[in-house]
Amino acid sequence: MFPFRRKDDIYCRPQTGASVTSVQFTWLEMVWMVVVSLSYLLGYAIQISIVVDKYTQEEPPDNCSLYLVFFLLPHLAAGLKNLQYHYREAREEEGEDGAKEWIITILFLPFSPLIRFARAWKFGIGEKDNWEDGIRYVDEMVTVGVLRLFEVFLGDGPTICLLLRDDVWGRSVDWKEYVQGPQDILRCGPQCNLQPQNPIEFWTIFRMIFLLSKMAQCVTFYLVIVKRLQHLQQPEYFHHLSNSNSRQGRLNFFATLILYAAHFFFIGSRVTGYSMVGTACGAWVYFIIGAHWLVNTCWHLVSVVSSNGLTPARSLSSLVVGGVWLIALTNEQGGRQLGRFILYYMMAFFETVVCGYLWNTAMAGSGDFFAYKASWFLLVILMMGIVLQIVYYSVCHPSKPSFSKEGLNCCSGDRRGAADSQQHSTL
């Protein structure tokens, strides 16, 4: 998942001996950094407002404290990960171990992506005087992507599941009024004006859509920027590509939008299914998530053993990656991808069927507004995500995927297999 070069588990910068003929930090990167920074800060503010809103209600929802846990935990985890990165950098680079840098890293630990954004901005501006700073800019942005994956996997995903439980499935009568209007027309005279008892407000919908959009943006950002770093690390694998942007691993706006939309719907299907099971069947959701997490972790461990060998650090990395894969496949090592994607989406489809079955079994005969609609909605958004992913790899992928007897080949000129990608470590 995390394509940093390592030697004896020590973090290393990508090799920079090859000549660089393109600028890494352009005005588009400036705009992108501003957009991502604002998204991060707005997401932070929305999560705080959600916690405050739930705790100030007259009747707080069940397990209200989970909102606070899923707000604090991801930022703390990302901050500790950033502290680990800073420690490694301090051992390898002069000037990174000063007291000022340590104070900033510790003081702003809950806002660790902002520290990395500042470093990336510094390296990007410095590219005018030193081209190696352009590579370091890309490297810093990959680190930002890793830290934000911690946040969306540990924080935004569980928070959306809780919001769906409390504000959608738990308010089915209010949503029925929102869609169909008040139902007591027969009891009302011709001149009366019926109003919903508990109207669905814009804020109720907006915060769920925004957090889901933020999750899709974070995953898309990581995949796009890590592709850039891979092309910088191993440019010899991409000389066969005719387009200069493809050789650099850059996506155009349309391709990025398609990739974002694919993850928006796919992640939406994951959190929808988990929230449905959590609402209707309670503890069953922990079994489903735990089983899927275990499968993902074992899958990633197998790939680590076949390439780099097994160490405690990589084992912990596989545990984290297994959790991230609950919402998106981020294994972008190149080579034989078709089998990898087929296996991943088969597991996702099977998980969707299980979630829909448990929901239908629990809600059968209840008369709930979502009793039959929820399962169809879950299946539709899953299929939309898969179709958009197929469109992306068919017409938008920068490395021109092609079919062969080895599967769907992409991302490399010599079509190397996953087992040969030893330069890509996992943490």
pLDDT tens per residue, range 120-162: 999 999 988 888 888 899 999 999 999 999 999 999 999 999 9
Both tokens assigned to 209: 């859509």
Q: Crossing angle for the helix pair 157-167 and 27-55, nearest 10 degrees?
A: 40
CA 274 → CA 159, 290, 292, 361, distances in Å? 11, 11, 12, 15
Q: What pLDDT is stored for residue 164 in this prediction?
A: 96
Dist CA 124 CA 414 (whole Å): 31
Please choose, from the candidates 299, 261, 251, the residue with its C-alpha nearest in 3D space to the C-alpha of residue 398.
251
Q: Residue 212 and residue 271: Cα distance in Å, rounded?
A: 9
Q: Are strands 407-410 and 402-404 parallel, antiparallel or unpaired?
A: antiparallel
Query: Bridge-partner residues for 402, per DSSP?
Result: 409
With contact defined as beta carbons under 8 Å apart, do 376 and 181 qualify? no
Average pLDDT, the chain: 81
Q: Alpha-carbon distance 367 to 372, whole Å? A: 9
Radius of gyration over every alpha carbon of the chain, rounded to an integer in angstroms: 23
Under 8 Å between Cβ of 149 and 324: yes
Rounded to whole angstroms, how far apart are CA atoms 409 and 416?
9
User: Looking at residue 282, what is its pLDDT?
Assistant: 86
pLDDT of residue 192: 63
Burial code (b: 16+ CB inside 10 Å, e: under 16) for 125-150 equals ebbeeebebbbbbbbbbbbbbbbbbb
What pLDDT is attached to residue 283?
87
**Tokens 């034989």 belong to residue:** 336
For the chain, the farthest-separated pair of C-alpha atoms sits apart, in whole angstroms, at: 82
Q: Taking Cα atoms as reference points, which of 409, 408, 390, 411 lies closest to residue 399? A: 411
Q: Which amino acid is at 14?
A: P
pTM, full prediction? 0.85
Phi, psi of 333 (to 5 degrees): -85, -5
CB-CB contact of 82 with 116 (8 Å): yes
Q: What string of DSSP letters covers 271-306?
A: HHHHHHHHHHHTTHHHHHHHHHHHHHHHHHHHHHHH
- Tokens for 384, please give them: 């939309």
**The pLDDT of residue 211 is above 90:** yes
For residue 418, pLDDT over 50 is answered with no
- Orientation angle between helical segments 27-55 and 65-92, nearest 10 degrees: 140
- The least confident of 222-231, 232-241, 284-293 is 232-241
Question: Where are the alpha helices (H) located in 168-201, listed in sequence order?
Answer: 172-180
pLDDT confidence of residue 357: 95
Pull the structure tokens for residue 304. Answer: 């680590």
Give the strand pairing for 335-336 and 402-404.
Answer: unpaired
9 with 310: CB under 8 angstroms? no
Which residue type sits at 352?
A: T
- The number of beta carbons lying within 10 Å of the beta carbon of residue 239 is 8
Q: Which residue has the tokens 């890590």?
A: 226
Tokens read off for 247: 């050789």
Which stretch of 64-73, 176-185, 289-298, 389-398 has the lowest confidence by average pLDDT? 176-185
Instruction: Work out the percent of the chain whose per-residue pLDDT is above 70.
Output: 78
| 3-state helix vs strand vs coil in the chain, percent to 5 | 70, 5, 30
- pLDDT for the residue numbered 305: 72
pLDDT at 194: 61
> Who's near 278: CB < 8 A, 6+ residues apart?
161, 165, 285
